[in-house]
Structure 1
Amino acid sequence: MHFGQNLQLLRKIRSGMTQEELAEKIGVSRQTVSKWELNAAYPEIEKVIELCALFSCSMDQLIREDMGVIDESYSDIRCEWVESFRYLQYAVVSADPEGDAIGHVTRWAEEIKIEAPRIIGWDFPTVSQEQINLFHMHGYAAALILEDGIALCEEGMEIVSQPRQQYVALTIRQPFTSPFHLIPNAFKVLLTYMKANGIKARYDKAVLSCFERVYTADGVEYMDVYVARE
């Protein structure tokens, strides 16, 4: 059962709500909330219903599902405007799609003579269950951000324009120390935060619905994770 862990996550991402504030909202003591979060006690069904209404989640999500944890590697969640930009996109399905896609757009950057390329990427679900189960393949797209005035030299390179868009985002410190936990969980935490705070995700072809960006600062590797909001 993940109830205590889920309750603590929902409380923290609801504008930093304290145990005292949550206790006051649903008419219990702070000590009771603390026991719930430690899984030392469980609320009556009426209080579970109140919690679900407060955090906009189902009883099954609150009690049984692992809604994700706030890891020490994560920054605080933020809402951020990303200014309009242009990019070249390359998508691939393979056993190492991240490496293949990023390697491809990196070669594009070399051809176009971009010395410090800005590259973003995202998973995409156009993979059959057979490719996943038998060949351990999945899909990934990488994009090379273009500065103004860049001239393309390879036929077939199509420039995509992304308008100014607001995203919910967080930063992961050293994401590749545990990539199969830290990166998927970051997206889960962002979506949980959005639902708990009544923020709708944006899914349409006009903008990138989500993406990630890796960079290094002061010798430390970071990843920014973004989810588009309406």
Structure 2
Amino acid sequence: MAAVNGSGFSTNFCAHCEREIPIANYDLHSAHCKRNLERCRECQEMVPRMRAEEHYNEFHAPAVCQLCGTKVNREHLTIHEQEKCPRRMVECEYCDFPVEAAHLPAHSDVCGSRTEMCIPCGKYVRLREKYVHDVQFHGESDDTGITREFNVPRGSGSSASDVSHRPLPHSRGPPPVASRHRLIFTFAITGVAILIELLPTLAPILHGCSTSSRAWKHPTVFDAVAYCWWGK
């Protein structure tokens, strides 16, 4: 049945390709369409009959993911490899270490439980709670670059005035006891390492001021120093 399209031309509907064809071209189109075109059973597009199998293999034939071995339509393979494959590598938001997507939840659960010291306030905060901590207690810079202060929830033991008058990094009070202990331990280990490294140089010098044969038999810094002062 003839119809008139928006351009004012009369058209006939082709039942094979389901398109409106100008009446002047309908007979030629009808003969060509049925003989040379067929509808793809996957995407419903009209493709040349002689290239139907090639079209199917190129766009719709199952492809195997090289990472997980899953079979997906070839046209969806890229999306699968980049967004859905359980063995694709993704970065942990806490440590930026690449892990398999299937293992990310377990990794993030452990990694996010690690604590780091907040520089402005000296408190140890879990990594998964760091953003909320910064927003609640130290403000957050929005897209305008303006720092906004947030009210601290009731019952937290702090007030809004505490937040607005928090000490700057360079004016913070003394570090926590645990931090001081770690610092002292670090200095002690460093000092021992330096003494061990200088031992070959100090031992002959210190032995030179002692006439005791024991100092030569026991070339240690402590023996050398002891006999240098009290061994004569």
Instruction: Judge same fold: TM > 0.5, yes or no.
Output: no
Q: More relative contact order in 1 or in 2 (CA 8 Å, sep 6+)?
A: 1
Structure having the higher strand fraction is 1
Structure having the higher helix fraction is 2
Considering only CA atoms, is the larger Rg found in Structure 1 or Structure 2?
Answer: 2
Structure-2-length-normalised TM-score: 0.19
